A = this chain, B = another copy of it.
Amino acid sequence: MKNTPYMYSPTIQKLIDLFSKFPTVGPRTASRFVFYLLRLPKEEVEKLISAISELKNNVKICKSCFNLFESEGELCQICSNPTRNKSLLCIVANETDLTAIEKTKKYQGLYFILGGTVSALKKTDLEKLRIKELENTIKNRSEIKEIILALNANTEGEATALYLERFLKAFNKKITRLGRGLPVGGELEYADEETLSSALESRR
């Protein structure tokens, strides 16, 4: 695309460049987005524009779990829900993982959004996580009995869980991780040895 500045008109190219920065979007998909918008009726485009504007204005971060929300007050609807079990704290990397767990409808405790994972225990990486805020949360909420590390079962999730296990030792709480095993649809023949070992150990 570089050496053909004449190809797309400046407004189109500017928008292609902005869409190209979206996650998973390359220049080709970005240009398809622009042509899609060009074909869209004016009122639909205006709906999109106002939805993007409202996003920054309406969405707040929960003071307790750092989840995004837009109701009244300082707490999201999970943290302000009196029926949730306050003795369970589930640490997740980000909002998407919280959503994934909520969808199961099997968890009734509270959350803490860490803000990411680390691949190595570098100081600069760790500073991006809400470690200090996590420390305060646990110190201030003596009702917490179990801390669930609900992190991905990949290298980064493992490294982060390991770091958290060491860091949380001092607080004398029960610390658990998600169970490993065969996922739905999984076949023994294609399962790695660690997954199959876990599946055997957690048989029931």
Contact = CB atoms under 8 A, between A and B. Distances in A.
Interface of A: 4, 6-12, 14-15, 18, 22-24, 28-29, 31-38, 42, 45, 47-49, 51-56, 58-59, 68-71, 77, 92-97, 99-104, 106-107, 148, 150-154, 157, 176-189, 191-204
Nearest to A54: B11
Contacts of A68: 9, 12, 38
Contact of A24 (B11, B29, B104): B29
B100 A189 contact: yes
Contacts of A185: 153-154, 192
B181 A181 contact: yes
A68 B13 CA distance: 12
Given A55-B15, A204-B176, A188 B152 contact: yes
Contacts of A180: 179, 181-184, 199
Nearest to A47: B18
A23 to B, nearest CB: 5
Copy number in the complex reads 4
A60 to B, nearest CB: 9
B100 A9 contact: no
A68 to B, nearest CB: 6
Given A9-B69, A96-B31, A106 B51 contact: no
Contacts of A29: 23-24
Contact of A179 (B4, B8, B201): B201
A183 B55 contact: no
Contact of A33 (B9, B23, B70, B101): B23
A4 B183 contact: no
B9 A104 contact: no
Which of A7, A70, A93, A187: most chain B CB closer than 10 A? A187
A55 B185 CA distance: 33
